[in-house]
A and B are shown apart, each in its own frame.
Chain A
Amino acid sequence: MMLQVNDAVVRYGAITALHGITFEINQGEIVTLLGANGAGKSTTLRMLSGLHAPATGKIIFEGQDITNTKAHQFVALGIAHVPEGRRIFPQMTVEENLEMGAFTRSGSFSDDMDRMYETFPILKERRKQLGGNLSGGEQQMLAIGRALMGSPRLLLLDEPSMGLAPMIVETIFRIIGEIRDSGTTVLVVEQNAAQALRLADRGYVMENGRIVFSDKASNLLHDERVRAVYLGESVEGT
């Protein structure tokens, strides 16, 4: 088991955002978190990159207790986070944004840079442009490329398809599949539940800060509860 979260509680002041969630991720999987807005999906990712330490509970990554590890130490551990809304550094060039992804690495990372430009040819073209001047899709690719520059073993993706045209969403999801195939484990939070479930191995469904059920992605795709609520399809007979 690569990552294990045990009964984690996260509070924002007086508000409890996560009421003790337990789940795990295995090496080489794509796991997706589904749920309505405010269910606690983003909070879960933020907890897994140190932006919000759990009040109680435990997080174990590759056998190491990382419950109280600080945000800036996560990249070095092998966990990279592509935040919601992409959060590109707007006044840095594409190249500088990629370099920021490799901030904690010492030595040369030009091979990885070349690999990013191979995976995302558009980023190579826009190398010297400011991140803030890219389109939404280009920014998403840059955000993913930036995270990969830290050579993570676990990649956290928060709403990678948000606000993007369907064709770009296809590309992003294809790339997420390729990332997994190249050996990086992926945890993805996605509004686009159907697409996420087609790509993922397993899924967890969250409601009001709790995980309410989980299953193989292929089963969830055909689960009535999921279809009704998250895939926007009416269940037969209702």
Chain B
Amino acid sequence: MGAFGHYLSAHFATLRLEFWGLLVGGLANGFIYAMVAIGYTLVYGVLRLINFAHSEIFMSGGFASYFVMKAIIGTSVPSGLASVGLVILGILVGGTASAGMALLLERVAYRPLRKRHAPKLAYLISAIGASYFLFNLAGKEFGRYNLSIPSPYINHTVFTIFGANVQMYYIVILIAGVIMFVTLDRIVAKTKLGRSIRAVAQDAETASLMGVNIDRTIALTFIIGGIFGGAGGFLFGLGSGVVYTMGFTPALKAFTAAVLGGIGNLRGAVIGGLILGVAESFSIAFVQAAFIDVVAFAILLLILLFRPTGILGERLGRSA
């Protein structure tokens, strides 16, 4: 066995030892990526454009929930039912703030371009401009340092799985993620609202002939994407704190997740997010933690080179 084989076997041994811990952490990150990826994929599905200001939609939810949690929790240590209520409140506050921000961006940065039939490049420039404006504004208003969200629960180890500690933070993310994704899936597949989104994604003009208000449907996709992004902003902030630049890396990774799963495809966004989260986490066994961003973006490059339509392909139109 050569030196490289020796290197690999040593690191696989690490992976085997840490497997469950890395898996749980990876899935939790993956759920957050997936929540943010929903926003990219929904907007892409109906408008065929990437909302590159989505990072700031995510940040808005993080800051809004930070201020509300700080006001309510302060220095106290909530537990029991209060914790559950506060987590739900944090998600609702983050989701609402981000939905509002998403709606504002649609009105200010995108709709005027849409009405003028602007080229795709104009949307990209508009999005980057809006993004820079927003995160610099946040830095100016809220300071340029990391703020910890007061924890709505005690982050103890809830149970142990094959020697790996599963903390409350992970349980919160997993439960919130599963509930939100299943609800969204059902809404898109079964309700009139979901049907209108799918109709616009498949053929906007014909959807309007059926009586679907296209402008309203587009606004709606920004709102839903905002709710998921804001919930992600809150959950991410619980673990890493909030800061004006917080959106940049998670949003790029969520974009990677959306492309990995098949941009425009809702289930793809979830699958892409989970795979990316776990892949990043497992790579810790092989490279230093500081390099995991490299892993994420190497994955993005590889998909774009070899399977640009992602795992499930582009198809927001489908109910499944």
Binds A, one of B77-85, B147-155, B207-215: B207-215
CB–CB B202/A71 < 8 A: no
> Would you list which residues of chain A between 167 and 186 have a CB under 8 Å from chain B?
none
Interface string of B278-320 (1 = CB under 8 A from A): 0000000000000000000000000000000000000101110
With A91-B317, A92-B317 as known contacts, state yes or no: A51 contacts B210, CB within 8 Å: no
Contact check, A91 vs B318: say whether CB atoms are below 8 A apart: yes
Cβ-defined contact, A72 with B211, below 8 A: yes
In the complex the two chains form, is A83's CB within 8 Å of B315's CB? no
Contact A51 B205 (CB under 8 A): yes
> Which residues of chain A come closer than 8 Å to B208, judged between CB atoms?
50-51, 70-72
Number of residues of chain B lying within 8 A (CB) of chain A: 21
Of B106-114, B175-183, B191-199, the one with at least 4 CB within 8 A of chain A: B191-199
Contacts of B214 in A (CB 8 A): 72
- The reply to whether the CB of B185 lies closer than 8 angstroms to some CB of chain A is no
Are A90 and B202 interface neighbours, CB within 8 A? yes
**A89-B198, A90-B317, A92-B199 are known contacts. Are A100 and B205 too (CB-CB below 8 A)?**
no
Judge whether B249 is part of the interface by a CB distance below 8 angstroms: no
Query: How far is the CB of A110 from the nearest CB of chain B, in Å?
Result: 15
Is A150 among interface residues, defined by CB-CB distance under 8 A? Answer: yes
Q: Which of A1-9, A59-67, A73-81, A209-217 contacts B (4 or more CB under 8 A)?
A: A73-81
CB of A100 within 8 A of CB of B318, answer no
Within 128-148 of A, Cβ neighbours of B (below 8 Å) are at 146
A87 interface residue (CB < 8 Å to B): yes
Q: With A99-B195, A103-B192 as known contacts, state yes or no: A92 contacts B211, CB within 8 Å.
A: no
Q: Are A91 and B198 in contact (CB under 8 A)?
A: yes
CB of A101 closer than 8 Å to a CB of B? yes
Which positions in B face A, CB cutoff 8 Å?
Answer: 192, 195-196, 198-199, 202-203, 205-214, 315, 317-319
Given contacts A75-B210, A103-B192, 10 further A-B contacts (CB under 8 A): A70-B208, A83-B206, A83-B209, A87-B203, A91-B315, A91-B317, A92-B199, A100-B199, A103-B195, A103-B210
Shortest Cβ-Cβ A-B pairs, 3 listed? A104-B211, A91-B317, A75-B211
Residues of A whose CB lies within 8 Å of any CB of B are 49-51, 70-76, 80-81, 83, 87, 89-92, 96, 99-101, 103-104, 146, 150
